[in-house]
């Protein structure tokens, strides 16, 4: 039996209409839609494996999945990309498909992931699906003090969801910072891995710091004592923006 060719696919999606990336019973997901479209265009049963999960309503400016195919000629085929995007709904766009080594894995070979969370300080109707609007003022300096401290944290139990089947809550954060872009406040965080709901819980807790409802010292104590936080921000402001891989995947 001939060995199938493994491919990586780069794409983006607007998460508003989906119950996240991963296939679930009785729910519309990005993975389900993508598998169906690719199976139709490539004319064989295609099953993708994603770089990770995204929650309901969360967006991805950049996402990666791998799949295997009997067709060994799909590498960088512009006609294939055009056909896929013609079949896919307008809120999912495929950018690139290319050959990788046979054991390359979109999830386990990723060495870092970068997320952004966007807070709008203007009640802009054009941003409501892509940011969280708040009307109160925030102390950005204090929020950045907390953000910088996250790079020293290893155990993120406080920010993970209950009853998830993860072997460890250890994550290594290499970048964590708030920045201002006009009326938009953007939190950028980069790490080797993230727990489910972790970024939204981190942002929610730092917003409490920005509002003066929580001290940075209390924030540190919460993490050190592994106290579960309950304040989570809405999903529409969260974007997965980058995934990096070892250079030897191709």
Instruction: Verify whether residue 215 is a known catalytic residue.
Output: no
Computed on alpha carbons and rounded to an integer, the radius of gyration of the chain in Å comes to: 19
For residue 168, the tally of other CB atoms under 10 A from its CB is 11
Active site residues: 55
């Amino acid at each position: 039996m001939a060995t199938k060719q493994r491919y990586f696919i780069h794409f983006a999606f607007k998460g508003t209409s989906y119950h996240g990336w991963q296939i679930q019973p009785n729910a519309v997901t990005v993975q389900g839609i993508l598998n169906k479209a690719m199976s139709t265009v490539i004319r064989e049963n295609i099953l993708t494996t994603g770089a990770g999960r995204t929650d309901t309503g969360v967006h991805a400016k950049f996402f990666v999945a791998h799949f295997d195919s009997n067709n060994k000629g799909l590498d960088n085929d512009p006609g294939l990309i055009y056909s896929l995007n013609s079949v896919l709904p307008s809120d999912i766009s495929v950018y690139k498909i290319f050959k990788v080594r046979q054991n390359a894995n979109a999830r386990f070979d990723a060495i870092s992931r970068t997320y952004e969370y966007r807070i709008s300080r203007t009640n802009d109707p054009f941003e409501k699906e892509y940011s969280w609007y708040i009307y109160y003022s925030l102390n950005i300096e204090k929020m950045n003090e907390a953000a910088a401290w996250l790079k020293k944290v290893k155990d993120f139990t406080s920010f993970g969801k209950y009853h998830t089947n993860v072997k460890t809550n250890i994550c290594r954060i290499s970048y964590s910072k708030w920045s201002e872009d006009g009326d938009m406040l953007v939190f950028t965080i980069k790490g080797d891995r993230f727990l489910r709901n972790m970024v939204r819980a981190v942002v929610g807790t730092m917003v409490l710091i920005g509002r003066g409802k929580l001290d940075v010292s209390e924030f540190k104590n919460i993490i050190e004592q592994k106290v579960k936080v309950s304040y989570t921000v809405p999903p529409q402001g969260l974007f997965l923006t980058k995934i990096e891989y070892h250079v030897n995947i191709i």
